[in-house]
Structure 1
Amino acid sequence: MQKISSKVKAEITAIYDTLRGAERKAADYVLLHPQEAALHSIITESAGRAGCSEATFVRLAQKLGYNGYAQLKQMLLPAEAAFEPETLLPYGDIGRGEDSQAVLCSVFHAAARALDDTLDLLDRKVYEESLSYITRAGKILSAGAGDAYTAAYSAYLKFSRIGLRAVCPADFDVQIMEASGMKRGDVLLLISHSGSTRTLCQVAETAKAKKARIITVTNYPLSPLAKLSDCVIRTAAFTKNPCNETVAKRIPELCIIEALYISILQGREEKYAKMLAAANEELRKNKF
């Protein structure tokens, strides 16, 4: 199978479920024949082989964030072709009876790949804009459902520790209540791998009606939550776990939150570092 850039593969996978029939044909052709598409075909040839129109390839490229198909072609191939053993593929490829070493390798490599792909895909302008909204917010409401709540709660702990006014209720009714009390300039920080959680969409709609800024950390940039958001910070964790709950999904989210927290501390305003020092001093009283 031909090697494709992990960045482009992640971008296509993130929007694949939203593509229409002809667009899927174009995406399938790019995924299966990246070298042919990048090096040997003009758009007319690619369209003919994929069984769709040239305009479909242009639409696909634009949905992926490129100016056109020519720019997409330039990004199709990886900088270097790394060998990926089948044993390192994510969890769905671990069969019954596998030894502990195979399990360890699969879990750790899935998480490492998700981090690498997320860093490669992350839009720095969106990150900086999100950072600006958070530092200027009167209140930060962070929210997540299921195990995404742990990532949302991490944001609450870190932001509170440096003096930002943050809340992170676990109960949906309380999330809605907090969102209904938001004001212009407040920030709703949502953590959702799928971007399709109904309750979080309701919280986002409530906050949006109050003119709050909405930042969503999600794997899917065309998801319902993403469409409601001012800023979408993308992750790129694609695993084959049948239960769909893997640590590889959450580690990039936690790293994004950590990066935002450190960026605030490293900023020009010294008050955040002073608040952290004061909080740490109090926390030491709870240690032996």
Structure 2
Amino acid sequence: MVEIHLNGLDNSRAAHIPRECLVRMQSIYPVAKRAERSAVEFLAQNPERVPDLSIVDFAAQAGCSEATVVRLSKRLGYEGFPELKRDFAKSTASVDTTTYSEHNFVYADIGTGDRPLDVLQKVIQATIDGLHDTLNILSYEDYDACVDRISTATRLLFVGLGDASTVALEARQRFLRAGKIADAPLDADTQLMIASRLQAGDVFVGISHSGRSRNVVEAARLAKLNGATVIAITNAPVSPLTKKSDHVLLTAVFTRYLKGELIAKRIAELCIIESLFANYVNRQGAEVVERLRKSEESVEHNKL
């Protein structure tokens, strides 16, 4: 069975998967054994068929045992396979497939008849859901390790492409104000050059929702090759970026946005950056607080 990236599912399929279940699928997929991973892949690729399958048929088509299906159902939060089927049936019944037409509105959850306030509420709620799910899926062990590495790092390099670069720039701004040596170059060649000059004691932070941004992955490879600690902030647990990383900070923003970029995924990344910075300030204490005060004073003349 072909390996899949759960975050990269076609939107029309993802809509058939209960949101809480999708979050758990993303969480367990990277660490699942081969048989269980096959079951997750089949579930992700055929969600609309699940309600009509017996456990025997599911196991046969997924290439695993019935015991694996039962075990997976429980890991996904259900008492057993029948409960999983019922939840998928409810999710499938609620899907309005017409919203996925290329000629329809760009958001699956928003219709052309929605009032402006309805649209505002739905967009904000999608962001809230993404933040809540990110908090639930994040590895606390990896997060603690990242706080340790950043707190003791000699130099920080943040790399992102497209609108992910705004997250990298915000991270650089935060740590620079606290007196930390930090960089976030926008030029692709410069990103690679600086990454190649990192060394042991430095920290590289790659920001990519898909985990497949070519330059971010290559910069991570160069940083790791030279002994730097590599941290990935991504929505994709199994991706080229995570394979190059020492620590992975997962976001869980499952969007039905069909075209272009969605700000919700960047908000989750920004919250992770902000929390890492807050932990750094807490650990460093009065000295960093004083640096922040001086930084604020230095730019005060730019304000009216």
**Match of residue 143 from structure 1:** 159
For residue 41 of structure 2, what is the aligned residue in structure 1?
24
Is 1:278 aligned to 2:286, yes or no? Answer: no
Structure 1 residues 56 and 138: CA distance shift in structure 2, 3 A: farther
What is aligned with 2:23?
Answer: 10
Percent identity (aligned): 32
**Paired letter, 1:273:** V
Map 1:19-168; keep pairs closer than 5 Å.
23-27=40-44, 46=55, 48-51=57-60, 52-55=62-65, 58=68, 69=72, 72=75, 74=77, 91-96=107-112, 98-168=114-184
Distance 1:211 1:108, change over 3 A: same
Structure 1 residue 46 displacement after superposition: 3.7
When residues 73 and 249 of structure 1 are mapped into structure 2, their CA distance, relative to the original with a 3 A threshold, is closer
* Cα displacement (A) at 1:148: 0.6
Structure 1 unpaired stretches of 5+: 35-44, 62-67
Q: 1:129 deviation in Å?
A: 0.4
Post-superposition shift, 1:55? Answer: 4.8
Conserved in 2, the CA contact under 8 Å of 1:187 and 1:215? yes
Cα deviation, residue 147, structure 1? 0.4
Cα distance, 1:114–1:107 mapped onto 2, change above 3 Å: same
AA aligned to 2:75 is L
Alpha-carbon distance in 1 for matches of 2:157, 2:66:
40
Equivalent-residue separation in structure 2 for 1:120 and 1:31 (angstroms): 26
Q: Aligned partners of 1:96 and 1:30: how far apart in 2?
A: 27
TM-score, scaled relative to structure 1: 0.78
Q: What RMSD, in angstroms, separates the aligned Cα atoms of the two structures?
A: 3.7
Report the alpha carbon displacement of residue 265 of structure 1 after superposing the two structures with TM: 1.3
* Letter of the structure 2 residue corresponding to residue 176 of structure 1: L
Whole-angstrom distance in 2 between the partners of 1:118 and 1:133: 21
Name the aligned partner's letter for residue 93 of structure 1. Answer: D
Unaligned runs of 5+ in 2: 1-14, 100-105
Could you tell me which amino acid in structure 2 is paired with residue 217 of structure 1?
Answer: I
Preserved CA contact (<8 Å) 2:134 2:251:
yes
| Residues 187 and 268 (structure 1), Cα distance of their counterparts in 2 relative to 1, 3 Å cut | closer
In structure 2, relative to structure 1, the CA distance for the partners of 1:57 and 1:131 (3 Å cut) is farther
Instruction: Give the count of matched residue pairs.
Output: 266
Calculate the TM-score normalised by the size of structure 2.
Answer: 0.74
Evaluate the alpha carbon distance shift between residue 108 and residue 53 of structure 1 in structure 2; reply closer, same or farther with a 3 A threshold.
same
Residue 11 of structure 1 and its aligned partner are, at CA, apart by: 3.5
**Counterpart residue type for residue 282 of structure 2:** Q
